[in-house]
Amino acid sequence: MWDRRARLDRVIDGDTIVVELDQGFGDEKHIEVRLFGVYAPEHDQPGGPETTAFVTAWFQTLPDLPWPFVVTTMRMKTVDREQTTFTRYVALVASLDGSRSLNADVTAFVEAQGYPRGIGGA
């Protein structure tokens, strides 16, 4: 697993975002991130737009810092590389101080609202 400080580029939907990672030494990289263990409703499902709005609002509550959160990419168990799904890296996203988890917060929101889980969800 790799931890990188990050900032939001854009929210795609309730379980996918695009971030800019701080690679260190002035090097930055944009990646698409699929939230690990999160199965949010798709855009055309009930709750899809609401979950996307929830994710957008989550980022707006973070402190106004150059790098306000941390992305931890998941390593595959069988090979020495980051886990991906389609073209997205699978990752955990947490506030910089570690007190909040986007993955857990989105899952709790979807369950509390009774929305259907997206592709792959049970």
Whether the predicted pLDDT of 88 surpasses 90: no
With pLDDT > 70 as the criterion, what percentage of the chain qualifies? 84
Cα gap 11→9, rounded to integer Å: 7
Domain ranges for the chain? 2-113
Q: Looking at residue 113, what DSSP letter applies?
A: H
- Pairing assessment for the beta strands 88-95 and 27-35 based on DSSP bridges: parallel
2-113 CATH pick, 2.60.40.1120, 3.80.10.10, 2.40.50.90, 3.30.70.3450: 2.40.50.90
Between 118 and 94, the more confident residue is: 94
Whether the predicted pLDDT of 105 surpasses 90: yes
Q: How many CA atoms, within 13 angstroms, populate the side-chain half-sphere of residue 7?
A: 7
pLDDT (tens digit per residue) in 40-53: 999 899 999 999 99
Whether the predicted pLDDT of 121 surpasses 60: no
* Residue 120 confidence class, pLDDT cut points 50, 70, 90: low
